[in-house]
Amino acid sequence: MFALILLLCVTVSKAFQCTMEVQQFSSIYLEHWIGLLQPHFAHYNLVFENTTVITELSTAIRPRNWVWTYHPPNSVNPYLNWPVDFPILSFGLLCAKCLNRDVLIHMNVTPPNCTIALGYQNASLAIASAFNKMTQNYLVQFHQSYNYSYWCYLTEIPGVRDTFAYQFALYFNFPLDFLRYKCCNSSFNYYNDTVDVSCPAMMIEKWRESTLGPYIIGLVLLCYCPLILCSWVNTMQATGRKIPAESQYEDLDDSDKRQWIYLDGHAPISLTNLLCGLCDLGWKHPVAVSRLRRVLFMLFSPILIYLQFLLYSTYQFDITLDLIDHGVPMGFLSMLGGNEKSKRLFVPMLGGPYCLLYMYYLTGFIFLIIPRNLGDILQRGSFDSKYTGMSPLILSTDRIEEISMVSVNQYRGYKRLSMLILARFYLIMMPRFWVEAVHIVWCRLKCHLDLLMLHLPKPIFIIFASILVPFHLLIGSLEICFSLIYYCIPIIWFLLVVIKGFVSRTTEFIETHSPMNMPHSCRLVLRITMFIIIAPLLLYFVYGFFAIYLASFSIVGEIIVFLFYALVLFPSSSFGYLFFGGALLYYVWKLLQGIGDVYYELLSDLFEVCSNLELNHNIPTLHNSTVMIKAPPGLKINTLRVNDITINLTEEQTNLMHNSANTKVTTYVHYDKHIPGISRRLFMHVVRNFKPVHITVFQAIFRIGLIVLLVVGTMKLSMNSNGMSSEISEVMHVLFIVVIGALPRVLEITLSHSDKAVHREIHLRMLEIMVQEYDHNII
């Protein structure tokens, strides 16, 4: 032990004697780039000459890779407060003032073979002193603020691995404050007219809002994701025929909706309908299309995580691997380090992120792909149980609908689930609910007391009552308090619905396919066994989905935050790019949305034409030298009058016309709860002959291509302009605003018809002729 302590003292004493100096060619190289670009932030990679004895402190992370910035007393350079991946999260916009190249700094170490203990105070001070000397000799000529330089390396926060937050980060991708910059800084001493260097023990704190804020928002939205999912799936189901029900729990008769298209504010044909309905295949093969949609959802739900892998492996692969080797919790990103390393950093008790993704796909295949009608299973779990009304937590759907005043029972499928979630949320805002909850607890207590009084002697009843009443009131109070969480956070109830629905469906399947003479005990054992198998797998799938969702939302949220930072801190260099991206997305969205607007306008015009035709259905029309009359039922025609000539019809002709009048007359317009609609076959006939879908989609894509070429070409032109480096941001602003903001609108106004009323009248007449031809072909 004494020898070990002596050896340590000798090693530290040698480290104390080390002095360093930046080699001249490294100083000249850095002087060239800093003088040319005037950066605010740079990376230094240290190379030590004349020594091979280098040790590193266990908490130091990449101690040979330092960063440099400067921080004058009256200004702010927040690079040290950001995470190390801020260039990726801001798409490089926050690196507008960075030296975007790793600079090799060769250090001469004296005496030769001196032991350097990286991460320790004396080694850091020696490195900072060498940097300061280089700054004074080569760099301070460019900017006096360089006298207030910071040289930093990453280090682990002591004791962070022993905190609850560390364990939370391992399983829930929590953005843990695991590492910070430890810095040495220089400052100008006005009394001695010198620049002093110091290495304080305090670390630079991170801006936790940039990572913690998106995570908290993601958790809040996760609590309400069932409402979003049910509404989204209900919208997709409207693009095709609904799957026939498998049980009494769901009555989905959509034959009427298959026959008519209604003017309900939704476009009958849009890009969403085409993609979600797989180009109208949803009406022909609803089960196959539904399963295909679920397969695509399961496969592409981690798409943002895969894109994160691509970005970090391309731009920050070495840094990411070093952080993984050090044991920094990085969620799914730790997969870049391989299976063995990632097991320690994310969900270690569940096999690591590789196992989590594999089991997510496997259990997703079981619970998402195999069921024929997933909506039927979920609706099973949402119906009332036999224990309804025994607790404030178990109210019947009718009671929830009555108190919240939100209609639920008139809907089916995913629409019913989404409305029930809303009704449960609005329930807690009604004072009547809290009165109802207190009433349920009081009635339950009174019932128990009456039962005890009926079966126990009075002295024993008093003893039991003195124990039962406080206990019962405590349980009732906890139930009422928990009701606020249970009804306000839909994810809790939704998980119970999912488990209940799958258990119910599995139980029914077992009972249907079991032998009729199977004993009841065997059935019970089989149900329990299936529950033990299904429940863990279902919870594993739900956990995997939640982990993927939180990671994806955190990525998007952090990108939004750092893009906002870039816009605020570097407006001259960031505004043009952000305006370019935002305007391009806006125009693409408007053009794609315009596909639906075209067909909704066509539906509206077609409804107007059909309404006029039904009002004037007794007026004769001429079609190919044939006079066409739609006679109402019961009408008997004896004579025809053409101009001044009267034609008497024979009895046979009269009876024939009378019989034809009693046949069913073609109906163009149909109403469903005051919502007008027209025949789906008629509408699709007009679409095929008047505005084919493939032509409309091609026109939208062509316009998008023109705008993209225009915008990208403008950006390339402005960035490749010579001699304008100091004015490029102002030029970009003007070009982007004029070209992106004004030119597409000018083209739209130029190409639009000035005589819209005349063209609309022609358009309506063409539609009327098309409807009459369609009616004639049917007849």
Are the C-beta atoms of residues 638 and 652 closer than 8 Å to each other? no
Q: Percentages helix, strand, coil for the chain, rounded to the nearest 5?
A: 65, 10, 25
- What is the average pLDDT score of the chain? 79
Using CA atoms, how far apart are residues 512 and 519, in angstroms rounded to an integer?
14
pLDDT band at 67; cut points 50, 70, 90: very high
Per-residue pLDDT at 5: 43
Contacts of 210 (CB under 8 A, 6+ apart): 82, 83, 558, 561, 562, 565
Taking the CB of residue 429, how many other CB atoms lie within 10 A of it?
Answer: 10
Peptide bond into 111 cis (omega under 30): yes
The token duo for 507 is 């139980």
pLDDT band at 772; cut points 50, 70, 90: confident
Per-residue pLDDT at 321: 92
pLDDT in tens, 227-276: 888 888 877 776 656 665 554 444 444 455 567 777 777 777 777 777 77
The token duo for 735 is 């070009």
Are the C-beta atoms of residues 421 and 488 closer than 8 Å to each other? no
| 266 CB-contact burial (10 Å; exposed 0-12 / middle 13-18 / buried 19+) | middle
CA-to-CA separations, 122 to 16, 19, 125, 163, in angstroms, rounded: 6, 10, 5, 29
pLDDT in tens, 329-339: 998 999 999 89
Backbone φ and ψ of 42, nearest 5°: -150, 155
Q: Which residues of 512-543 are buried (b: 16+ CB within 10 A; e: fewer)?
A: eeeeeeeeeeeeeebeeebeeebeeebebbbb
Which residues on neighbouring strands pair with residue 153, listed in sequence order?
Answer: 182
Q: Report the pLDDT averaged over residues 535-549.
A: 88
Are the C-beta atoms of residues 692 and 630 closer than 8 Å to each other? no
Torsion of Cα atoms, 708 then 714 then 718 then 722, to 10° = 110
pLDDT band at 346; cut points 50, 70, 90: very high
pLDDT band at 13; cut points 50, 70, 90: very low
Does residue 28 have a pLDDT over 70? Answer: yes
Per-residue pLDDT at 621: 64
Q: Report the pLDDT averaged over residues 572-576.
A: 72
Does residue 105 have a pLDDT over 60? Answer: yes
Does residue 6 have a pLDDT over 50? Answer: no
Contacts of 439 (CB under 8 A, 6+ apart): none
Contacts of 577 (CB under 8 A, 6+ apart): 91, 93
Delimit the domains of the chain by residue range: 2-207, 385-513
Per-residue pLDDT at 31: 87
Higher pLDDT, 326 or 254: 326
Per-residue pLDDT at 760: 72
Does residue 736 have a pLDDT over 60? Answer: no
Does residue 749 have a pLDDT over 70? Answer: no
Higher pLDDT, 3 or 216: 216
Reference 177, options 196, 144, 193, 154; nearest CA is 154
Using CA atoms, how far apart are residues 715 and 733, in angstroms rounded to an integer?
10
Query: Identity (one letter) of the amino acid at 231?
Result: S
| DSSP SS3 for 252 | coil
Per-residue pLDDT at 76: 64
Does residue 75 have a pLDDT over 70? Answer: no
State the residue for tokens 């399963």. 291
Per-residue pLDDT at 332: 93
Lowest mean pLDDT among 133-147, 459-473, 752-766: 752-766
Higher pLDDT, 572 or 476: 476
Does residue 429 have a pLDDT over 70? Answer: yes
Query: Long-range contacts of range 510-519, CB-CB < 8 Å, 24 or more positions apart?
Result: none
The token duo for 342 is 């990632």
Per-residue pLDDT at 242: 63
**Of 64-68, 115-119, 659-663, 688-692, which has the strongest mean pLDDT?**
64-68
**Of 189-193, 407-411, 638-642, which has the strongest mean pLDDT?**
407-411
The token duo for 697 is 């989609």
Per-residue pLDDT at 548: 92
Contacts of 369 (CB under 8 A, 6+ apart): 291, 294, 295, 298
Higher pLDDT, 625 or 414: 414
pLDDT in tens, 654-699: 777 666 654 455 567 777 777 787 878 888 888 888 888 888 888 8
The token duo for 16 is 């104390």
pLDDT band at 12; cut points 50, 70, 90: very low
Are the C-beta atoms of residues 428 and 487 closer than 8 Å to each other? yes
Using CA atoms, how far apart are residues 514 and 156, in angstroms rounded to an integer?
60
Higher pLDDT, 84 or 760: 84
CA-to-CA separations, 184 to 21, 243, 366, 695, in angstroms, rounded: 16, 67, 56, 65
Contacts of 555 (CB under 8 A, 6+ apart): 304, 305, 308
Q: What is the DSSP letter of 349?
A: G
Contacts of 84 (CB under 8 A, 6+ apart): 154, 179, 316, 319, 323
Are the C-beta atoms of residues 658 and 636 closer than 8 Å to each other? yes
State the residue for tokens 């096999």. 351
Per-residue pLDDT at 16: 47
Lowest mean pLDDT among 182-186, 759-763, 775-779: 775-779
Does residue 391 have a pLDDT over 50? Answer: yes
Using CA atoms, how far apart are residues 217 and 213, in angstroms rounded to an integer?
6
Higher pLDDT, 533 or 616: 533
Per-residue pLDDT at 725: 42
Q: Report the pLDDT averaged over residues 626-650.
A: 68
pTM score of the predicted model: 0.80
Does residue 2 have a pLDDT over 50? Answer: no
* HSE, side-chain direction, 13 A CA sphere, residue 276: 16
Using CA atoms, how far apart are residues 118 and 57, in angstroms rounded to an integer?
6
Contacts of 589 (CB under 8 A, 6+ apart): none
Using CA atoms, how far apart are residues 312 and 305, in angstroms rounded to an integer?
11
pLDDT band at 155; cut points 50, 70, 90: very high
Q: Report the pLDDT averaged over residues 274-284.
A: 67
pLDDT in tens, 358-389: 999 999 898 888 888 887 788 877 776 666 77
The token duo for 620 is 């004769």
Which residues on neighbouring strands pair with residue 536, listed in sequence order?
Answer: none
Report the percent of the chain where pLDDT is more than 90. Answer: 12
Reference 59, options 201, 169, 220, 265; nearest CA is 201
**Of 225-239, 308-322, 432-446, which has the strongest mean pLDDT?**
308-322
Reference 186, options 123, 154, 157, 144; nearest CA is 144
Per-residue pLDDT at 658: 63
Per-residue pLDDT at 9: 46
Element containing residue 219 per DSSP (H, E): helix 209-223
Taking the CB of residue 595, how many other CB atoms lie within 10 A of it?
Answer: 22
pLDDT in tens, 698-734: 888 888 887 777 777 766 665 554 444 444 455 555 5
Lowest mean pLDDT among 22-26, 422-426, 628-632: 628-632
Per-residue pLDDT at 15: 42
Does residue 759 have a pLDDT over 80? Answer: no
The token duo for 264 is 């309900």
Reference 561, options 209, 39, 180; nearest CA is 209
